[in-house]
Amino acid sequence: MEEAVRTILKALGEDPDRPELLRTPERVRESLLDLTRGYRESLGDILDGAAFEDPSQAMVLVRDVPFYSLCEHHLLPFFGKAHVAYIPAGRLVGLSKIPRLLEHFARRLQVQERLTEQVADTLNATLRPRGLGVVLEATHLCMVMRGIQKEGSVATTSALRGNFLSDPRARAEFLALAGVPNPLR
């Protein structure tokens, strides 16, 4: 990986032997390994034993969870916040597991749409809730720094399962609590 970074620096017209750049290949390697650590983590380590039986039927919402990922098309960051909610059907998960799950999938080369679905599908399979919703709002540096160059733009994706998909009232409650406008009212 470090040799590849040296090659990139040369292709950009830089001298990788310049004193200020000598450690850049090593730093880029360390950075990329950290930013993509989700490939080397075990999902089982995050979720094994995380769900437990409980009769609660109250909606559980974890909102404004920050996340950072790398766009798989440009290797540029996208970042934002996630809102995740579910209505239990006899099973709960520790609240900290939701951000950990998001982080697990975000720390890979990604597209926002897939990241949203991965979080929703994994929680849905783990909890089998009556309803589940995931909304991600993100700024993509590939849209801000290059290409269209539209600073301030935010991409929003959502994945709804169960009664968040079929019941307009449940969906509206989730979106209102998450602070996301509901266009289906």
Residues serving a catalytic function are 71-74, 112, 140, 142
Give rounded-to-5 percent helix, strand, coil for the chain: 40, 25, 30
Q: What is the DSSP string of 110-133?
A: E-HHHHHHHHHHHHHHHH--SEEE
Within 11-120, strands assigned E span: 51-53, 60-71, 77-87, 91-93, 109-110
In 3-state terms, what secondary structure has residue 178? helix
Q: Which residues contact 153 (CB under 8 A, 6 or more apart)?
A: 139, 140, 143, 144
Amino acid at 78: F
The DSSP symbol for 161 reads E
CB 133 within 8 A of CB 85: yes
